[in-house]
Amino acid sequence: MEPFRVHILGCGSALPTLKHNASSQVVEIREKLFMIDCGEGTQMQLRKSKIRFTKISCVFISHLHGDHCFGLIGMISTFGMLGRTATLRVYGPKELGPVLDSQIKTFCQGLEFSVEFHAVDTTKKTVIYEDRSLTVESIPLKHRMPTCGYLFREKPTLPHIKRDMIDFYHVPISQINNIKLGASWTTPDGDVIDNSRFVEPADAPRSYAYCSDTRYIPDLYKLIEGVDTLYHESTYASDNADRARKYHHSTARDAASVARDAHVGKLFLGHYSARYNDESVILKEAQEIFPNSYLTNEGMVFDV
């Protein structure tokens, strides 16, 4: 099975601390790298993770709070100094477009690569990126400004070939793709060998949803039903539920409720408030509702 994993570069919230970096992740899927959010300090985290960040092809920004985008222009500048030539695609709320354009004109003149900005409608769930192996959809969220999450879905793959059966029936290599596509095989004696003898089921497509920042949305689960892995902000535990409502954030209980209702496989928590020196209270609260919950931390890598 091809790798589909997530690298946590930062899982803190707006106030900088010595414990956590601002929000950023890299999604690695089939040798392609996609960044979600790019808070201040992301470049240093990329260095520590030893990710070949010049291979990042797209950056998906959830919203225009600094802890999610202050690192973007610095990373673009570094790409220029490293001699990047490949186009960098940036996706985010339409308000990001003119800001990014102004920053590039001010700080990054003479880039030898293009930065393509793609405005995302944060009010709709729609496919915003697609290639041969995956799609990325926007997830409408509710924060203090236009905000969306992102849902990465693998496309279905073809079945696996049973090599021993191919050899047994002397099927030519030229016919293997046809068999993958469902064809049966007729032997030189005229016997028809059913396709099922030659293939095993394909791996189930995997999916990853990123939801940060947002207040609790009771029907959010409908948009992420059945995803393998969910990252949902858990800025506070229930002891600060009033602050969560005031600032349009979620508690660990909120995040776990979404995971439970969406029947996801795993829940990863993050975007912790700086007021928590120990996030175990956040984890405990989430696990009471959704046992398969985990804390994220910088340097963590998990398989979807």
| Residues identified as active-site | 67
Is the CB of residue 6 less than 8 Å from the CB of residue 26? yes
Diameter of the chain measured on Cα atoms: 77
Instruction: Quote the tokens at residue 98.
Output: 């003119």
Integer Cα distance of 231 and 165 in angstroms: 42
DSSP-assigned letter for residue 189: T
Spatial separation of the C-alpha atoms in residues 160 and 54, rounded to whole Å: 33
Distance, in Å, from the CA atom of 304 to the CA atom of 302, rounded to the nearest integer, reads 6
Separation CA 1–CA 204 (nearest Å) = 10
- 3-class DSSP assignment, residue 12: strand
Taking the C-alpha atoms of residue 261 and residue 263, their distance in angstroms, rounded to an integer, is 6
Chain position carrying tokens 């709320």: 93
Determine the Cα angle at 254 with ends 251 and 256, to 5°: 110
Distances (CA, A) of 77 to 51, 89, 104, 288: 18, 15, 8, 45
For residue 169 the two structure tokens come to: 């029936």
